[in-house]
Amino acid sequence: MFAGKTEELLRRVERARIARKTVLLFKPEIDVRYSATEVVTHNGRRLPCRLLPVSLDLSGFKEHLSPEELASVEVFAFDEAHFFGASFPEICEDLVAQGKRVIVAGLDLNFRAEPFGPIPVLLALADEVVKLTAVCTVCGAPATRTQRLVGGKPALAGPEVLLGGLEIYEPRCREHFVAPR
């Protein structure tokens, strides 16, 4: 978290729009931290989006689009993709097979530093991968881990998904990340 993934996603969406491409932006319906109808960065930048159920499969995804949209939209962008289910890579692959550009932002690791949701499969299938890093709040080094906090201390257990921001998560480097047992 806090590496600028959503900021980069919105930057790419804006560039596609400047190039006069038709774009649809999506996020999982469970992500209502800043807005239920927009993708919002931690810095407050925002763009309208559509919500998708996290357990969506390919046929369910197509039900969220009109046939005209599916035919005319050139760029499909997805934020917080780590929340989507195992069928999400199939959705992306289907869109790419139709000649669509697909842009995905998401965490590759959960708070336990384990592969998160469908992201490992997407990384393997992607034509391009950009891995952004945050800044470790302990030492300032590149942070590749997300430390969940409980009472200001590293969480040693808990559910994989717990929505929040700086109040319960902070970026950490490998050296300062405390792994749950």
* Cβ-based neighbours of 107, under 8 Å, separated by 6 or more: 1, 5, 82, 116, 119, 146
Give yes or no: 80 in active site: yes
- Single out the catalytic residue among 80, 93, 160, 170: 80
Three-state SS letters, the chain:
CCCCHHHHHHHHHHHHHHCCCCEEEEEECCCCCCCCCEEECCCCCEEECEEECCCCCHHHHHHCCCHHHHHHCCEEEECCHHHCCCCHHHHHHHHHHCCCEEEECCCCECCCCCECCCHHHHHHHCCCCCCCCEECCCCCCEECEEEEEECCEECCCCCCCCCCCCCCEEEECCCCCCCCC
| Residues with catalytic function | 80
